[in-house]
Amino acid sequence: MFIIENYSLAVVFCLITMVCWGSWANTQKMAAKTWRFELFYWDYVIGILLFSMFSAFTIGSFGHQGRDFLTDIKQADYSNIVSALVGGVIFNAANILLSAAIAIAGMSVAFPLAIGLALVLGVLINYTSAQKGDPVFLFVGVALIVVAIFLNAIAYKRKSMGEQKKVSAKGILICITAGLLMSFFYRFIAASMDLDHFVSPAAGKMTPYTAVFIFSVGILLSNFVFNTILIRKPIVGEPTSYKAYFLGSFSTHLTGVLGGLIWGLGNSLNLIAAGKAGPAISYGLGQGATLIAALWGVFIWKEFRNSPKGTSGLLVAMFCFFITGLVLLVFAGA
């Protein structure tokens, strides 16, 4: 299987993760005019599973290093399989709430609040379990990202002044709940792997390719519960049905699958990089997706157009703090 040999390449993989995790939601925005996010989400989950299978049987099985996918999954301990499955369930609950938050508050608000909170808590949780990286650079970087999140919240408050829709409180609450849940999923999937020995993992532990596949299965299985509930009792809008899902066009379904493929690519690269970078740094850099999503929301989807004077300055400051914080995370592992 393919294994990263140096920290520089691990950082590159984490930066690609950041772009993927910050961009997949554009596919939801593309389908939003005619397609409910609950229906979109099924295609998104299918896309995640498809990519996990593709990577497991290609770069997760080719080459002479480590265990190939089929050999690895056969020897995996039950406890490690359950850990990766639980990670998938937690992630799915968080991500469904994030999708609802995007529908209510927009990408440039939902991502900084939800994923920003997940970044801060997730780094703390993952660093506690595997203390790789300089703690000073790591936590100063996280602190700067907290400032960036705070600036984004102020900008959103200014934008919301005078608007008639009273959805901000509900949207922010959903964002916070999603962020709290999102901060825990990575720890469960990382615990199922031998992060220090990808070449020769301990018996019972899984390679990142196998762990990602089991994680994706957890997402799919939990979706039958979580998303079925939302289809019948949605957070936003009127109830829909599985009949409506099967009436969707091929191109509409393909948009959702593409979103899942994009997120799945980022997830796989991030966990492959975790062996060299450590879970705290790998997760933290990946969740820099907040910055990418904010860029999409501000410059492409124009979610802050017609905002009061001074809002642009707050957004510029937010981007500066985010970028500086992410740079410090990179130096923390160097």
Q: What are phi and psi of 116, to 5 degrees?
A: -60, -45
Tell me if 186 sits within 8 A of 281, measured CB to CB. Answer: no
As a three-state string, the secondary structure of 213-246 is HHHHHHHHHHHHHHHHHHHHCCCCCCCCCHHHHH
Token output for 95: 């991500």
pLDDT for 292 equals 87
pLDDT for 167 equals 46
Domain map (residue ranges) of the chain: 7-134+166-301
Token output for 283: 């997760």
Q: Helix crossing, 135-160 with 311-333: angle to 10°? A: 160
Quote the CA–CA distance of 264 and 215 in Å, as a whole number.
Answer: 11
Q: What angle do CA 202, 206, 210 make, to 5 degrees?
A: 160
Mean pLDDT by 10 residues, the chain (334 residues): 92 95 88 83 97 96 88 97 98 88 70 79 90 92 86 76 58 88 94 90 94 98 96 88 94 95 96 93 87 84 83 92 93 87
pLDDT for 329 equals 92
Amino acid at 1: M
pLDDT for 163 equals 57
- Chain centroid to Cα 295, Å, comes to 16
Whole-angstrom CA distances from 119 to 1, 141, 180, 259, 332 are: 29, 11, 10, 21, 15
Whole-angstrom CA distances from 13 to 10, 168, 267, 277, 282 are: 5, 35, 10, 10, 9
pLDDT for 160 equals 67
pLDDT for 99 equals 75
pTM: 0.90
Q: What angle do CA 54, 213, 19 make, to 5 degrees?
A: 70
pLDDT for 107 equals 61
